[in-house]
Chain A
Amino acid sequence: MVIIETFTDYQIDALKELANIGMGRAGAKLSEVFEHRVTLNVPNVAMVDADKLDSLARKAESNSPIINIIQQAFIGDIEGRSTFIIGGHNFTDLVEILGYEESDAVDERRQKEMLLDISNAVNSACLSGLAEQLTLDIELTNPSIIAFNKENIELKDFFFKQKDQQTHQTLLFEIKFFIKDIDLYCDNIISLKISSLKNLRVALERLL
């Protein structure tokens, strides 16, 4: 039987603030890459039903007809998965925004490399806020693209749930970025494995 760790309101507030620190670093990174100011919102942190991941991804999809989705697992003292959704443009437009030559902008291999680089940079920054403050060791695995320049896709076709989620509950961090000047949306949805929640709670209690 899986025992679900519970978090107090204060612990959730602390996790939100730690996510906020990671979001700030990621926002600065995105701002450097795209050379535009990034609008940041207070992150959402909550214990949710695992199905919520699908509905959040669908909500992100509704913001933009074209989206890219990259997933990346993290392992170590706490484990889980980050789903990075970037929308608002097709990637040819994005590469052009980044100032690349037209020949590079239409090169699909180049576009995918850049997408993975951006996702990796955002994830590293987001997770560093949690890991450093909680003195947890986390390592990111290689990211993989699960949707590239997709239009009108049915996100229910994608598998967002963690493999160990027999309980259908997960701790979820939702971090949103918006670059108004170029109409670019990014959602970073980080979900932790149920089996990692105990380590997280212990680390959090040390900090508090």
Chain B
Amino acid sequence: MPTSLLIVDDSTFSRNMIKRALPSEWDVEVTEVICGEEALEVCQLQQFDIIFLDLTMPDIDGLDVLQTLNERGYQSRIFIISADIQESSKQIAKERGAVDFFPKPITTETLLSMLKYHEVI
């Protein structure tokens, strides 16, 4: 059974770059949403195994999405993939339940080692 993956990013280009970087050996079914609000909606309807979450988004930012999912007790492994590389952002994300934090632009090599390190694949 494929892993269900939700990619949350307001940029089509960025979502495409992430999809392009997905390791070919990873059996994954991808759902994409373009903002924090949509992410919260779709997470009410579906349980995802993995979420790749951007932080800087025009409506609800990624840190607020994390907070809400955390408050709802949503069980998913959430990885931040963001250009916001401030130490404070990484710290807040981890406090709010993110598994790990990866700076953009993400490459296949980085993604593969991250997924292996966290025993996702």
Which residues of A pack against B, CB within 8 Å? 10, 13-14, 16-17, 20-21, 23-25, 27-28, 31, 37-38, 40-42, 129, 133, 208
Contact = CB atoms under 8 A, between A and B. Distances in A.
Nearest to B92: A37
A122 to B, nearest CB: 14
Contacts of B104: 17, 20-21, 24
Give chain A's interface secondary structure class.
Answer: helix
B38 to A, nearest CB: 15
Interface of B: 10-14, 17, 56-58, 82-89, 103-105
9 contacts: A17-B13, A20-B14, A20-B56, A25-B85, A28-B85, A28-B87, A37-B86, A41-B56, A129-B83
A42 B88 contact: no
Q: Which of B11, B84, B104 has the most CB of A within 10 A?
A: B84
B91 to A, nearest CB: 10
Contact of A24 (B13, B83, B88): B83
Given A21-B104, A21-B105, A42-B56, A27 B86 contact: yes
B56 A10 contact: no
A129 B83 CA distance: 10
Contacts of A38: 86
Given A37-B88, A40-B56, A42-B56, A23 B13 contact: no
Contacts of A31: 86-88
B11 A24 contact: no
A94 to B, nearest CB: 19
Given A17-B13, A31-B87, 20 more contacts: A14-B11, A14-B13, A16-B11, A20-B14, A21-B83, A21-B104, A23-B56, A23-B83, A24-B56, A24-B83, A24-B84, A24-B85, A25-B85, A27-B86, A28-B84, A28-B87, A40-B84, A41-B58, A42-B56, A42-B57
A13 B11 contact: yes
Contacts of B86: 24, 27-28, 31, 37-38
A25 B105 CA distance: 12
Nearest to B89: A37
Nearest to A41: B56
3 A-B pairs with the lowest CB-CB distances in the bound complex, closest first: A24-B83, A14-B13, A17-B11
Contact of B83 (A14, A20, A41, A208): A20
Contacts of B10: 42
Nearest to A16: B11
Nearest to A36: B88
